[in-house]
Chains A and B, each alone.
Chain A
Amino acid sequence: MTVDTLTPNAPTGSPLLTAKGVTKRFGGLTAVNDVDIHVNEGEVIGLIGPNGSGKTTLFDCLSRVQTPEEGSVQFRGQDITNKRPHKVAHLGLARTFQVIRVYRELTVLENLELSLQWKNVPMSKRMLRPGKAVTDKAEKLMDFLLLTRLRDDRAGALSGGQRRLLELGMSLMSDPKLVLLDEATSGVNPSLVEEIKDRIRTVNKELGISFLLVEHDIRFVKDLCSRVVVLNYGQKLAEGSPESIMENRAVIEAYFGADGDEESTVIDDGKVSS
């Protein structure tokens, strides 16, 4: 398996995404409260926290689906706090969604072709069919993500796990610098989880694409991430290596003592399940 059609980044370890004091409120509820987070080039960062801790809202603020009330977000040295989402996408920030967003009425191939951002393509070419180069790239990615035999199937006909893979492929189509993965493994069977893990690692090592991932599978986070950020009630609870986080008293309390939350959360065999 090769990913040589994608353009590799040269990771320098310099800051890629820096968010400072991000705050987002919904009425009386402060979903994200004064959170600082940064991702350096080439890093895979985990973002964990109990249900309702503001992980997805933070993702939304970073990728500009939501506008944070306070704070600033810098990506590749540019302030993106008030940029339109497609502009942010053009800068090289891709994301997937907790509730899968693929175009159900389009085929797998069309879904991938569509996700190329066209940032360097002149207006005249945008009106035409995607060129051979685009299709080739989409086919390489399908091969990489085990989707080749589903090439002409409607995305709506795929299984949950296949859609997760497709969404990952869509986010990789545009040669991103950073991918925000929102629960890439939820609803995916264990063997496919291993595949997804393997693909993320390959893409990160070979292409230097950075990842920020929201995950409930602690083992997945431990295997992939070099650093973990923990959110609770919209605030940053802890940050550090996966090992140090696993032993952090406050983190364990946040997961165990989810006060009054109807869904009890248990750490079992290194895996947090709710």
Chain B
Amino acid sequence: MNLISFLNSPAAKKLGWALCGLAVAGMAILPMTHFGSNAELFTLTLMLTSIGVAINWNITGGFTGYVDFGHAVWFGLGAYVTSMLMAISIKLDPVTLEETVEADGLGTAWGPVPAIIVGALFTGLCAAGIGRATMRLKGPYFSIAMLGTLVAVREIVRVAEPITGGGVGLNLPPYINRPLFYYIHLVLVVVLGVFTWWLRKSQFGTNLIAIREDEIGAEMRGINTIATKVAAFSFSGFSTAVFGGLWAYQNTSVDPDIAFIETRTIDAVLGTLFGGIGTVLGPILGSAGLFWLKEVLWARFTESHLIFQGVLLILLVMYMPKGIAGLFDTRGTSLATIWSKWMPSKDESPDASPTPKSGSGKPVVDTVATSNEGAV
């Protein structure tokens, strides 16, 4: 039995899941061992954050086929709304040297749990509203619109100084408990991983794949494509915002440039592509692998690590379009496949009926069913 056929066998799949279980168990007992120093736990918490964001990105980008280049906006919004609800400012009296703590941001000074929940819900609503508008666009146009959304929201936050603190940002009540944050993130990522596994199996998840594969066909077969894709997008935003809120609390301060940093999107996209876009395990394996690469290797090249990142992205798209999971599961997809539907190209299937394409000189109305016009 050669390697490829073994990797595609059910036994390999079982082995894969067993290894995942083992990894989770290992991570669960880690803080109790001597490897679980606060610094280690903090790094691992950041890794779990990037895994969580990638899983959420994969729900819209991988399952639904809407490649979101501005996904960091949901992370940033979650972080900011949470911060605005929790923010405090510490003032030092220059004469008496007494510290006074005042509520900042929205002036509510809530506790972390309600703030994170409200922040995530608000972000979910925003995602639904923005998604309803931007998801009319297809393929790369949607990606660019979302990139624009990220930039626009960041600038809005910068301008809305009275409640967001402007470019300086906000401070949160400091609370450092690395093991607690670590466990919260671990549980969230496991729950999210199981959720996406279930989602992929569920009718709703299959409908998402149907939208990715052929949106007009999905609508014709009775799937309410707008409601379905916006619901998925909204959930993705909500769930990303939970990680954003936790990150803000852990970071004890936010400012627009760090909360809405583009790199967070790039990491999610890169991690998912590395692991296998449109698969359940892909974003988890890919983001973990990418994070490890960054920490271990790229920390040595502080100035040039982005070059490695770019080269990796190019190599991935060229030579491993289906990522790591593509070796196991032939049913994954690739960015090229997702986008090829929106690109003018030759019909890829040789056995499809030889239909003249519109735009080949003469107007041929018979083929308009394949165009986007009139699409929902």
Contact = CB atoms under 8 A, between A and B. Distances in A.
Interface string A154-186: 100001100000000010001000000011001
B369 A59 contact: yes
B94 interface: no
B217 interface: yes
Contacts of A1: none
B224 interface: yes
Interface string B347-376: 101011111100000111111111001111
Interface stretch (A2-10, A15-23, A125-133, A195-203): A125-133
B202 interface: yes
A98 B366 contact: yes
A86 B223 contact: yes
Given A98-B369, A160-B351, A103 B202 contact: no
Contacts of B365: 26, 29, 31, 52, 54, 56-57, 234
Contacts of A97: 217, 369
Contacts of A116: 222
A129 B349 CA distance: 30
Given A98-B355, A99-B352, A56 B374 contact: no
A271 interface: no
Contacts of A115: 221-222
A60 B373 CA distance: 11
Contact of A86 (B203, B224, B368, B369): B224
Contacts of A113: 203, 206
B118 interface: no
B222 A86 contact: yes
B333 A106 contact: no
A105 interface: yes
Interface stretch (A61-69, A137-145, A250-258): A61-69
B213 A85 contact: no
A104 interface: yes
A114 B366 contact: no
A115 B366 CA distance: 25
Interface in B189-238: 201-204, 206-207, 209-210, 212-214, 216-217, 219-225
B220 A117 contact: no
B209 A103 contact: yes
Interface string A37-52: 0000000000000011
Given A103-B217, A105-B209, A129 B201 contact: yes
Contact of B352 (A63, A85, A100): A100
A101 interface: yes
Nearest to B347: A99
Contact of A127 (B204, B213, B356, B375): B204
Contact of A118 (B222, B225, B330): B222
A129 B204 CA distance: 9
Interface residues of A, number: 55
A126 B362 CA distance: 45
Contact of B366 (A56, A101, A119): A56
Nearest to A214: B366
Interface in A57-81: 57, 59-60, 63, 65-67
B364 to A, nearest CB: 5
Contacts of A59: 369
Residue in B203, B355, B368 whose Cβ sees the most chain A Cβ within 10 Å: B203
Nearest to A125: B203
A63 B219 CA distance: 11
A105 B338 CA distance: 11
A160 B349 CA distance: 9
Contacts of B278: 105
A85 B219 contact: yes
A170 B365 CA distance: 25
A187 interface: yes
A54 B366 CA distance: 6
A84 interface: yes
A60 B216 CA distance: 11
B305 interface: no
A222 interface: no
Nearest to B374: A66
Contacts of B223: 86, 114
Given A56-B368, A130-B203, 17 more contacts: A56-B367, A57-B365, A86-B221, A89-B219, A89-B222, A99-B352, A99-B369, A101-B217, A103-B209, A106-B210, A113-B203, A115-B221, A126-B204, A128-B202, A129-B201, A159-B351, A187-B354
Interface of B: 201-204, 206-207, 209-210, 212-214, 216-217, 219-225, 278, 330-331, 333, 337, 347, 349, 351-356, 362-370, 373-376
